[in-house]
């Protein structure tokens, strides 16, 4: 017979997964609004952030109640503490999606940038990392989570090269300064999303294996 506590814990995890899906939608919409220059999509991301904020509060409340009333230990304790951290990371990723959408609204006031950049590649990779993290969270699969940790360097390197590319472009074509500055900020937001996705992956490894991998920990 399953304990009532474990039923509620499963529901909490399901709520966090649903929040992850909502964040994934925000990420997809913000990136589509950037590459399609779609102001409606960008505005939708900004408006829908309130849903994520509400979800964060609700998950926190349920998690604290379960901790206080169920007095969890071992895997249950790891799941609750990890869920609460993942909840915060998801909400922060949602905020970065809003930041991207707000940049898109500013970029759309400027002429389109005609030169090519690595920004689409960086966006695709970030979106794939988040999607894999969400799948890994759903199935509590530490192998996929571990593989994610190794992809973060690629994002950092794309971010660095984008910065130099846009810097160079601004020097050559001052009329693009405003749009380049906004795109540098978009790249920065993507880099932060990838970092937070890594945090989620680290928490998935901890909740499943009880193994600490943060800050390259050995223990």
Which parts of this chain interact with other proteins (CB under 8 A)?
3, 5-6, 71-78, 209-211
> Using CA atoms in the order 27, 29, 34, 35, what is the torsion angle rounded to 10 degrees?
110
Q: How far is the CB of 56 from other proteins (least distance, A)?
A: 25
Which C-beta is closer to other proteins: that of 50 or that of 73?
73
Closest separation between CB of residue 24 and other proteins, Å?
30
Least distance in angstroms from the C-beta of 88 to other proteins: 20
Shortest separation between residue 152's beta carbon and other proteins, angstroms: 25
Nearest to other proteins of 77, 125 (CB atom): 77
State the minimum distance, in angstroms, from the CB of residue 48 to other proteins. Answer: 37
Between 7 and 115, CB nearer to other proteins: 7
**Beta carbon nearer to other proteins, 13 or 29:** 13
Contact status, residue 155 vs residue 125, Cβ threshold 8 Å: yes
- Residue 3 or residue 61: which is nearer to other proteins going by CB? 3
In sequence order, the 6+-apart residues with CB closer than 8 A to the CB of 48 are 22, 25, 26
Q: Which residues contact 126 (CB under 8 A, 6 or more apart)?
A: 27, 155, 190, 193, 194, 197
Q: How far is the CB of 5 from other proteins (least distance, A)?
A: 7
Neighbours of 105 (CB within 10 A): 15
Residue 92 near residue 182, CB atoms below 8 Å: no
Cβ proximity to other proteins: between 148 and 207 the closer is 207
């Amino acid at each position: 017979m399953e304990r009532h506590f474990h039923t509620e814990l499963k529901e909490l995890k399901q709520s966090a997964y649903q929040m992850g899906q909502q964040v994934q939608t925000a990420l997809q919409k913000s990136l589509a609004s950037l590459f399609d220059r779609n102001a409606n999509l960008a505005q939708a991301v900004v408006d829908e952030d309130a849903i994520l904020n509400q979800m964060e509060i609700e998950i926190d409340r349920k998690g604290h109640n379960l901790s206080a009333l169920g007095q969890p230990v071992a895997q249950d304790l790891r799941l609750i503490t990890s869920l609460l951290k993942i909840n915060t990371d998801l909400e922060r990723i949602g905020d970065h999606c809003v930041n991207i959408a707000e940049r898109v609204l500013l970029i759309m006031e400027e002429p389109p940038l005609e030169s090519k950049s690595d920004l689409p590649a960086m966006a695709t990779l970030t979106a794939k990392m988040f999607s894999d993290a969400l799948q890994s969270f759903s199935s509590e699969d530490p192998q996929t989570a571990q593989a994610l940790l190794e992809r973060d360097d690629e994002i950092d390197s794309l971010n660095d090269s984008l910065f130099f590319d846009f810097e160079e472009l601004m020097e050559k074509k001052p009329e693009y300064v405003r749009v380049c500055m906004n795109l540098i900020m978009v790249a920065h937001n993507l880099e932060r999303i990838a970092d937070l996705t890594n945090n989620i992956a680290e928490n998935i490894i901890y909740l499943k294996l009880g193994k600490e991998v943060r800050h390259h920990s050995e223990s």
